[in-house]
Homo-oligomer: A and B are copies of this chain.
Amino acid sequence: MRHFITTADWSKDELQSVLQVADRLKQDRNQCLLDGKTVALLFLNPSLRTRASFQIGAHQLGAQAVVLEPGNGAWGIEFDQGTVMDGTAEEHISEVAAVLSRYCDMICMRAFPMFQDWSYDRTDPWITALVRHASVPVINMETIVHPCQELALMQTLREKLGEPAGRNLTVTWTWHPKPLNTAVANSVIMIATKFGMNVRLLIPNSDYLLDESFMAAARNNAADADGSFEVTHDIDAGYAGADVVYAKSWGPITFYGDADGASNLSEKYKHFIVDEDKMSKSNNALFSHCLPLRRNIKATDGVMDSEFCVAIDEAENRLHVQKAMMLHLLGVNASEVRS
């Protein structure tokens, strides 16, 4: 049994097969290949696209999705093992996982980091615990990585650019009033290097470096796929020659657990906002972002409303790639999918 927790566990060939099925599902949305199946969607954090696209995607495949929000309509969950549960959580992930495995054919979960202790959060303890106790396939709907977003990005780049290998992608940090999750940044550098792109990480300074595990994965991917991975603090250098600019905000890991310190530091770098002037320094780059995006904070209206913004296409592709991944994990052969 396979899970989809991080693309680090999947080869480029495997992911490409999934993307090819996604292309077919994009042409023909309603295919009852999962008739009678049920998918549980566990949301520990807010969602619009993920929630809508998984529900709709499951339905279009003939399956049923059930949304559960622990702490909001469902009981709060404890994820650590061996805990004396005298806090606020009313039940343990071991029971949640075991029970939902009896009711459902797949469990998907979103569980953002807690922003207290990175040495703990970096182990992705929530989805790890779910996988340990589940007896059905699990899909990560964003924890410290966001693999479904990775697939959606790659489907979009293949549609817009053709073969992505050898093209230049810049991940630029941008300001946001709150210190956010690094998940999408971690994910973008891993998937783009896996597909042979030359990836630049543009950050204000070394406080904004991503966790070394993801940076190392990007370097290794680049070495394997004849791409590259580098870090720059220079905005001009970051945009120069870029074929794709991907924006994301995150809190500096050096200030993890110190929201005020993180916000004070990040405020100095509001000028990292993606605007038309910066984009003009690129190689007529596409612009994207995982959404939600605060306009005129992370990117200007001009950028968001431009022809080169593909964020909406990427959001649409969430639907198709997730359906393809559900089929793959539930053992539906690609040949059964109409094209």
- What residues of chain A have their CB less than 8 Å away from a CB belonging to chain B? 29-30, 36, 38, 40, 43, 46-49, 51-53, 55-56, 59-60, 64, 66, 68-70, 72-75, 78, 81-86, 89-92, 94-96, 98-100, 102-104, 177, 291-297, 301, 304-305, 311-312, 315-316, 319
Contact = CB atoms under 8 A, between A and B. Distances in A.
Contacts of A83: 295-296
B36 A29 contact: yes
A73 B55 contact: no
A70 B46 CA distance: 9
A305 to B, nearest CB: 8
Please tell me how many copies of the chain the complex holds.
Answer: 3
A64 B43 CA distance: 20
B297 A95 contact: no
25 contacts: A38-B56, A38-B60, A43-B73, A46-B74, A47-B73, A48-B74, A51-B68, A56-B66, A72-B72, A82-B301, A84-B295, A84-B297, A85-B295, A85-B296, A90-B292, A90-B294, A91-B294, A92-B293, A92-B304, A94-B295, A95-B291, A95-B292, A98-B312, A99-B315, A102-B312
A70 B292 CA distance: 12
A83 B300 CA distance: 10
Contact of A74 (B51, B74, B82, B304): B51
Q: Which 7 A-B pairs have the closest CB atoms?
A: A91-B292, A85-B294, A102-B316, A30-B36, A84-B296, A90-B292, A48-B74
Nearest to A35: B30
A70 B104 CA distance: 27
Given A49-B99, A56-B104, 18 more contacts: A30-B36, A38-B60, A40-B52, A43-B73, A46-B74, A48-B68, A48-B91, A48-B96, A56-B66, A59-B64, A84-B296, A86-B177, A92-B293, A94-B305, A95-B304, A99-B316, A102-B316, A102-B319
